[in-house]
Structure formats: C-alpha cells, structure tokens
Amino acid sequence: MTDFNRIEDADNLAGKTALVRVDFNVPVDKDGTVTDDTRLRAALGTVNALSGKGAKVALLAHFGRPKGERKPELSLRPVAEAFAGVLGAPVAFAEDCVGEVAENAIASIQGGGVVLLENTRFHPGEEKNDDALADEMAKLGDVYVNDAFSAAHRAHVSTEGLARRLPAYAGRAMERELDALEKALGKPERPVLAVVGGAKVSTKIDLLKNLVTRVDALAIGGGMANTFLAARGQPVGKSLCEHDLADTCREIEAKAKESGCDIILPQDVIVAKEFAANAPHRTCGIGEVADDEMILDAGPQTVGLVVIAMDAAKTLVWNGPLGAFETEPFDKATVDAARAAAERAKSGKLIAVAGGGDTVAALNHAGVAQDFSFVSTAGGAFLEWMEGKALPGVDALKG
C-alpha cells in the first residue's frame, strides 16, 4: 500500500490544473448552511499544497444521491461558499463538472486559485465509470489528485476513471489514511489485536473471516457477540441474535484456531428485561442469562480481558462498539475499553487505528477520538479495507 504516488512526486505544477477529488458530502440544513465542516477542513492540506505549487485547483465532489439527475437541492454551490470561509480565500463555483462551463470556470482563476465544480453525480456516467464522461472530464486537468478515501471503494469516473487518464497522486488526507492503514494491517507491529463490535454478524462475515487470518487476537462485542455465544450453546434470552448463523460462527472460530488467532468473547454481560435508558439491569455470567432478559453490554470482567489483550498488543484495530453505547448505562464497556486504548496510544505503547460505522461516534462519546493514533471517518471504504478487498480508487494511484 505504500507504493502510491504522492503530491511531492508532482513537479512543475505552476499554471497547470489539478483535478482534486475531495469528500464534500457534508451535512447541510434546510437553509443550505453547512452544519459540520470537518470534511472541508480535511481538504485544506491538499488544497494549500497544490496552491503553493502554483496549480489551479479544481475540486470534484459528489453530494447526496441525485442518481444521475440535476437536482438543485443537491447543488454544491452552498458548499463552495462554506469552503471559502474555511480556506480563508475565494472559491469559485462552476455549474457543471465537464464541458465548456467547467472549462471557463477553470480558465477564470489564476495559478493558486480554487474552483469547486458541480456535483459529479448529476451525470449518470459518474457512478458507471463511463469512458466517455471520464475522457471529457480528463480534458479539464493536467494531473489528478484523490483526497477522498471515503469514496475509494467505488470505481467511479471521479475516483478511478480519471486516475487512469492523468498522472495520479494521493492527496494529504488520503496519504495519512493509507499510511495509518499500512501500520494497522499492512505491515503492523505485532501482536495485533482487533476489536470488532456491532449489531449483526451477517454484516461483518467477510470482515471477521479476513481478520482471523491477519491478527493475533480478536475481541468480539455488541449484538454480534450474542450470536457467537449462542453458537457455543450459551443462553442469550431475548437478545439480538442471529441463530441461523451458528454454523458461520463456528466456521470463523475454526479458521481462527487454524490461524493462531485467539478469539475473546464476553465472560460476563449486562442484561435487562427492556431496552431503555437506565432500565433496571444486572451483571451476570454468560451462562446465567434468563429467558426474558437481553444482553445489552459486556461486563467488567470482559472489559478486563480486552484491556489485558491491549497490554499484550503492539497494534490495535477497532471497529464497532461493545454494547448499546447510545443508551446509558449500556455504554460502559465501550467507554472503558476505548479510554484504556486511548491511554495506551497516547503514551506510545500502542498503535491504535479505528474507523467504520458507529465507531467514530462511540469514540467521541467516550471523549477519546483525538487520542487514538488514527481515526478514519471513511465508513464503507474502511470496512472494505478491513475485509481485505481491493479499493479501486487506491489501486489506481499505485506507481
């Protein structure tokens, strides 16, 4: 993964146009105001680096799901205004991302200037990675930079097609992501511990099958742990559980044993008769769950086992909560384990990389996201990377 091209490899950009794929799929309220500029700020490193080289920076992004139709409510115009505020410099806007309109908008800015082109998904060929659209879009630029890891698992014109037609480089945010992932699973310091939680095994079968062949220990939490416990013959009451996946769980455990991966499942759990904030609850052993109870969190003994595994590990990869963290007090296992990981990462004892799904929200809830070595906000791309799948947008950047 380390053999991709970087911005530093690009020479003589003064006056040339860099087509830069960014993730500007930001939340916007009904008045068109961007309510969270995290993704806009993430693009600053790349935009400033290219502007500093004298390049014209033409930003490409999708916004929402227009499904190949031009929908005014999904225009990126308000985002251009918001990004200008973040950048502290003017950001021009083009009403299209191809053709004469886009050409004129790029021609109107000087070297070092920035223009945001209209929503790439207004064109039906974008998501189809249509050759004709890719050829037309490529005419706008001299080089291509991908800074949107979150869209790298999609082979679209703006994520993969352009990289096959122009000299292609990873942007600064993409670079940080790929370097962090290389440290986590590519060429990690061992032992490696993975913590995987979430509601259902069915959504993470590929992930679990890949991880047990690549990590030294795997801690499973959340609702998916209930399915593994049931597959071992343990009672889970009326807990969320996919009983039909018992054979799959046993297959994953057998694969883990064959690969030398230690699977850590709950030894004690927090149970309640109803799923509600501050519902009456108790801690019990895994064999003591009553028929009318549901498992809503891992217990303190289980958290202790996970922390022991952290102390033995050099690298941690985290995806998903250990319990129903959105509802107190069933957030305790996730919060306690996350704080333990953050403390070890902050002190340099552990490389801790996290991402996907509810993971970012869980770490923010615990107040420790900033202390992890790296937290990916990429969602689907992060999960597909953990599953060992090829990411078209990344593969296209390799030298």
Active site residues: 39, 200, 357, 380
184 closest CA partner among 372, 13, 398:
372
Give the integer Cα–Cα distance in Å for 308 and 299. 15
Give the distance, in angstroms, between the CA of residue 16 and the centroid of all CA atoms in the same chain: 31
Q: Could you tell me where the DSSP H helices lie in the chain? A: 38-42, 44-52, 77-87, 99-107, 125-128, 131-138, 172-181, 205-211, 223-231, 246-259, 300-312, 332-346, 359-366, 380-386, 392-395
122 closest CA partner among 165, 163, 77:
77
220 phi and psi, to 5 degrees?
Answer: -110, 130
- SS3 for 247? helix
Give the integer Cα–Cα distance in Å for 341 and 257. 25
- Please give the DSSP secondary-structure letter assigned to residue 351: E
Cα–Cα distance list, 391 to 62, 233, 281, 399 (Å) = 18, 38, 43, 15
Give the integer Cα–Cα distance in Å for 154 and 394. 10
